[in-house]
Structure 1
Amino acid sequence: MTSTVKRLVQKVTSTRLFARTAPLFIPALDRAVHRLTGGRALLSGRLLPSVLLTSTGARTGQSRRTPLACMREDGPVRTWVLIGSNFGRPGHPAWTANLLAHPDAEISWQGRDIPVRARLLKGAERETAWAAAVRFWPPYARYQARVEREIRLFRLEPRARRADGD
Structure 2
Amino acid sequence: MGLLTPIAIKFGSYAWAPNYLPQIVWFDKRLQKVTRERYCFVDIAGLPSIKLTVVGRKSGIARSTSLLTVPDGDEWLIAGSFFGDPKPPAWAANLRATSTAEIRYRHQDYTVTWRELEGEDREQAWRHMNKTWPNFDKYAERIDRVIPVFRLTRV
The two structures have a TM-score, normalised by structure 2, of 0.90
For residues 100-136 of structure 1, what are the alpha-carbon distances to aligned partners after superposition, in whole Å with 9 as ceiling and x for unaligned? 1113110111111111112111111111001111122
Residue type of the partner of 1:107?
Answer: I
| CA RMSD in angstroms, aligned pairs only | 1.6
> Match for 2:82 among 73, 79, 86?
86
- Give the C-alpha shift of residue 41 in structure 1: 2.0
Point out where structure 1 has 5 or more consecutive residues left out of the alignment. 160-166
Preserved CA contact (<8 Å) 1:79 1:155? yes
> Using the alignment, how far apart are the partners of 1:140 and 1:66 within structure 2?
18
Q: Give deviations 1:46-77, integer Å, cap 9, x for gaps.
A: 22111111001122221111111111112xxx
Larger Rg: 1 or 2? Answer: 1
For residues 43-82 of structure 1, what are the structure 2 equivalents within 5 Å? 43-47=41-45, 48-74=47-73, 78-82=74-78
Percent of pairs with identical residues: 33
Aligned mates of 2:84, 2:131 — CA distance in 1: 17
Match of 2:109 in 1: 113
Question: What's the counterpart of residue 18 of structure 1?
Answer: 17
Matches within 5 A, 1:91-106: 91-106=87-102
**Structure-2 separation of matches of 1:17 and 1:133:** 22
1:37 to 35, 38, 45: 35
User: Hey, what does 1:148 align to over in structure 2?
Assistant: 144
CA contact (8 A) 1:39 1:108 kept: no
Query: What amino acid sits opposite 2:23 in the alignment?
Result: F
Q: Counterpart amino acid of 1:10? A: I
Shift of 1:10: 1.8
Which residue identity is paired with 1:141? D
2:16 match: secondary structure = helix
Letter of the 2:25 counterpart = P
Conserved 8 A contact 1:44-1:69: yes
